[in-house]
Structure 1
Amino acid sequence: MVSTSSSPAGPAEADSPVVHVPFSGGASHFVASTTTGFHVFSCGESVERVRYKSIADVSYGAEVTSAEMLTWSRLAVVTRKTGGAEHDAIYFFDEESKRTIRISSAKTPSLGVVGGVRLLGDHAIIAGQEMAMLVVRGDIKNSELVETGPNPLGLCALAVDRREATYALPRPEKGAVVDVRAHGSGVACLALSRDGRLLATAGSKGTLVRIFSTDDGTKLQELRRGIDRADIHCIVLSSDSRWLAVSSDKGTVHVFPVSSADKATKAGADSDTLPVTPPATAPVPATAKQGSFYRCRFDPVNAGEMKQLEHERFIKKINE
């Protein structure tokens, strides 16, 4: 059964591991999903739980696989039946208006198992195993289905600018995203800039991150995370597209400066011979699996190791 706390204070307790932790668009809140539930937190001067209602209409035996936030009060939660092959449902919540929309697997049979959801404005993209669905204002009947390649990780990205939606999804061809040939190996992670002009991708080897123009597919920049193979957990572009952060299973976060599309075009560089950009910072510990929150500052000029400003435990195990 999925439920949330009625108290905004103190860390949450969980008897299952954290499976997904995304931030809201403005990074003012984040939601931490465990298989048995989810918890919403604010991250202003201190990390604090947000009062949220219990979800009474989730069937017994369902487990949470992921969640996505638009604002503190608007989020989507994906559930599946324990031991089942199909997802059970996707719940779109609006806590302020007390409105809940439930999309069951029966309504989206072509998607199969849902691996990821992205929310932005009135738009949502739902990524299945080999299909994705673009939904506007919760209108499932008039939603747009898009064929993808095999997508077991539920990779998807969404940007909305001037009421136009841009989305990125794995293509059927190995290593391809939308109409961009991104990596020779499979694609492990992807992200769009807020305005939809830049697409960042990471390959399954986890050593390189590449940035492309969504206008024509030109490769603008190549960033080296490291030389050892790694599983990339997340890549994200800052709101002004000047920085890109990469986290991995190495327990590290790297932050890179992002060259503008105009600067790359004026340089006249061949897209296959662009210089590899080193990270602006050295790695810092990241322990999301233990329910820890870090706030750090980096030096954009001299690079080096980040300075840790804050560390809090937002989820702890029962009986810890």
Structure 2
Amino acid sequence: MQSLASSVGVVTSGVGVVTSGVRAGIAGLMNLAAQGVDPSSGGGVFSVNFNQDFSSIGVGTKVGYKLFSLNSLDKIEQICDNANEDTCIVERLFSSSLVAVVSLSSPRKLKVCHFKKNSEICNYSYPNTILAVKLNRARLVVCLEESLYIHNIRDMKVLHTIRDTPPNPTGLCALSISNDNCYLAYPGSNTMGQVQIFDALNLQAKTMIPAHDNPLAAIAFNASGTKIATASEKGTVIRVFSVDDGSRLHELRRGMKRCATIFSLSFSPDSLFLLASSNTETVHVFKLEEVKEPQRVVVDEQQGLMGWMSKAVTASASYLPTPVTDMLSQGRAFATVTLPFQGIRNVCAITVIQRQPRVVVVATDGYLYLYNLNTVEGGDCPLHKQHRLEGTGGDGIVAAESSGAPVGPAYPGGAKKSEAAAGCSGGGSYAGVVRGPTPPGMTESDKMSEMAAACESPPKNVLKFDDDNEFPPV
């Protein structure tokens, strides 16, 4: 991972219009680890991101944000185009109309909006720059450099504050999307790769996992919240741990010779695959085989030379140094994606589109890349389609009716805490969090109804007959 100082330099060169007084805060606000900011791009894309179930994409740009639906290969439907203000964080709650937004001009202010109704539900200001926002149906987490605020998403009350965390200038954190295992993960150290797991539902620390020797670069939960994948700044080894007891389940090798900056880790919905993208041109797809108890190798005379070699390797393992044994046991990539670029920030995911698993990569060059994945044989994943998501004249973009949320007064990035509080006079506060007044035209009851409706879990085992992804084939 790049240092904060180097990150500031490249980010300011990409933006080019920011005053020197707020560059440091904006560099952190770009959220280099989780949001995928491209230091070299000049196209105005600040962040790219998937929603929790990989059914849509959020793109933050210098003129606003856009949301796209991922339900087709040949046409990508644009479901929202908000062109009100520069946006560097946009997080959509599953497939609801609820979005959390942070703008570049107001880096300490979080707005929760209903984009289809063109309404702002609420806004909160924090004592420092917001580096990341994570949502599930129970909690909304706001990450600052040295603290995390946990909100009840139904009424946005601050339930708990984790203070004095190790310096986390990139806002690295992850929130499980599971209702049953609602866990929050964040770095437990800025010198070692420790992962702190916090139970965000019961508001208590769960465990600390010593994952790597070097500081963390990426972390990700699986859909059920039972596993967590980690990568360090070195970027050569990816590990998967059990959230329950912290035991190591898998150790996967991304590369042998060169280190890399891991941009994104992502489990498939069934947790059978794990994706890793980096600043190289290769996205690695690992197959997470079920961990089995080691069995003694029985070799008889009929096995010949191959049987003898297998026995020799097994027997010699106990005499080899531990690092060598670990390297021999590390899993290799099951499949790979070769991107048409390198060094550009991106996020990756495996999702089912038109009944087939696809590898989806969104980069801050403003393009979406769709690859086919053979889940049986693996190998190279061929490019199926490429779509332009930012700018005009993009192929395969279908615009849908959309509207942006109203924008209130912005706080300058260099504003003092007292100035931010004065701008939100009339609202309540909790441990340094300042709540803005209820937006005009919306009562407190209306706001609660909107939040509750967006957080409802869909019924299980119900077929959506208007969804090609879920309609059973004849």
TM-score bracket relative to the smaller structure? 0.7 to 0.9
Partner of 1:64 in structure 2? 87
| 1:141-167 alpha-carbon deviations (Å, 9 max, x no partner) | 432112432111111111143455211
User: Percent same amino acid among aligned pairs?
Assistant: 28
Q: What aligned pairs does 1:103-252 form with structure 2 within 5 A after superposition?
A: 103-105=123-125, 108-109=126-127, 112-137=128-153, 139-147=155-163, 148-172=165-189, 174-178=192-196, 179-227=208-256, 228-252=258-282
Partner of 1:18 in structure 2? 45
Structure 1 residues 77 and 251 mapped into 2: Cα distance closer, same or farther (>3 Å)? Answer: farther
CA contact (8 A) 1:80 1:89 kept: no
CA distance in 2, matches of 1:162, 1:81: 34
Structure 1 residues 286 and 183 mapped into 2: Cα distance closer, same or farther (>3 Å)? Answer: farther
TM-score (norm 2): 0.56
Aligned partner of residue 182 in structure 2, secondary structure: strand
Aligned partner of residue 364 in structure 2, secondary structure: helix
Structure 1 residues 52 and 81 mapped into 2: Cα distance closer, same or farther (>3 Å)? Answer: closer
Aligned partner of residue 46 in structure 2, secondary structure: strand
Structure 1 residues 248 and 283 mapped into 2: Cα distance closer, same or farther (>3 Å)? Answer: same
Aligned partner of residue 280 in structure 2, secondary structure: coil
CA distance in 1, matches of 2:224, 2:184: 11
CA contact (8 A) 2:52 2:177 kept: no
CA distance in 2, matches of 1:217, 1:208: 17
Larger strand fraction of residues:
1
CA contact (8 A) 2:43 2:366 kept: no
What displacement does 1:15 show? Answer: 7.2
Counterpart amino acid of residue 114 in structure 1: I
| 1:254-310 alpha-carbon deviations (Å, 9 max, x no partner) | 1111234xx35x449xx9866211111123206513211111112233322101111
TM-score (norm 1): 0.80
CA distance in 1, matches of 2:294, 2:131: 39
RMSD: 2.7
What displacement does 1:235 show? Answer: 0.6
Partner of 1:313 in structure 2? 388
How many matched pairs? 287
CA contact (8 A) 2:189 2:215 kept: no
Q: What aligned pairs does 1:21-32 form with structure 2 within 5 A after superposition?
A: 21-32=48-59
CA distance in 1, matches of 2:179, 2:124: 31
CA distance in 2, matches of 1:80, 1:291: 18
CA distance in 2, matches of 1:80, 1:40: 18
Counterpart amino acid of residue 192 in structure 1: F
What displacement does 1:80 show? Answer: 3.5
